[in-house]
Amino acid sequence: MTNFFMELSPVYQALLAGIFTWSITALGAAVVFFFKKVNNTIMNGMLGFSAGVMIAASFFSLIDPAIKMAESLNLISFVVVSIGFLLGAVVLLLGDKLYRFIEKKKNLSTTDQKKRCMMLIASITLHNIPEGLVMGVSFGSLLYQITGNSLVSSLTLALGIGIQNFPEGSAVSLPLRREGYSRKKAFFMGQLSAIVEPISAVIGALLVMKIKYLLPYLLSMAAGAMIFVAVSDLIPESQHCKKKNLITIFTLIGFTVMMFLDVALG
């Protein structure tokens, strides 16, 4: 099975990674069949762990390979990576603004249950599109065999995004269940929010593979996007509990796991 995956083209690898992260979202949405609510400490621990994975991946799997790739293409590496990194953060910032706008509209809606449902799904979906692109860029860059970027690091990145998707799935299905939707419909809507990840992963991989000179920019953009998500969303959200030190330890463990896999096995 491992050899089969390794022999696939980066596009198919990105597609399978996107399907994996989507399936974790579906798993998170499936909690609606068993619980009315999920333990907050567990959810916050998963978010903290994912934040650590993303922070480590942003350097070891994305920025460092972007620098090496820029140098091999005779580009000014620190300029290229700086532009890409900040551009990635700006794109996510604009997406976050749109997310807040949708949230505001959702809160202002009255008795239109269908409208509230669609707003909720759209707001979570906005976060999943760049995550899919990040995975696609990571797998697509494997084609160039850059030092510091490996299949292990790409798989670990997909795992980190998948772990983060679990609470996102339940964040859609559980509120919909409280609004009166059936368990099956709430589950369907919850998993639907991540269906964009396999699609955007393939797009990201194709972009990298077709336009070589875009690779340093796209890798650093992905890093900027991941740092933005970790700092603006995952870490603050994970700290909304009394056991902040425990959640911080989960974040450090996530960083250490990603760093170990990238450096020792990459």
Tokens 């979906």 found at = 125
Cα–Cα distance between 71 and 65 in angstroms, integer?
A: 10
169 contacts 26 by C-beta, under 8 angstroms: yes
Residues comprising the chain, all counted:
266
pLDDT value for 110: 44
108-163 pLDDT, tens digit per residue, is 444 455 555 565 566 567 667 777 887 888 888 887 776 556 788 888 888 888 88
Residue 239: alpha-carbon gap to chain centroid: 19
Check pLDDT > 90 for residue 83: yes
Q: Encoding tokens for residue 121?
A: 């799904």
Instruction: Please give the angle made by the CA atoms of 202, 53 and 262, to the nearest 5 degrees.
Output: 80
pTM for the model: 0.66
Tokens 């707003």 found at = 119
Cα–Cα distance between 19 and 27 in angstroms, integer?
A: 12
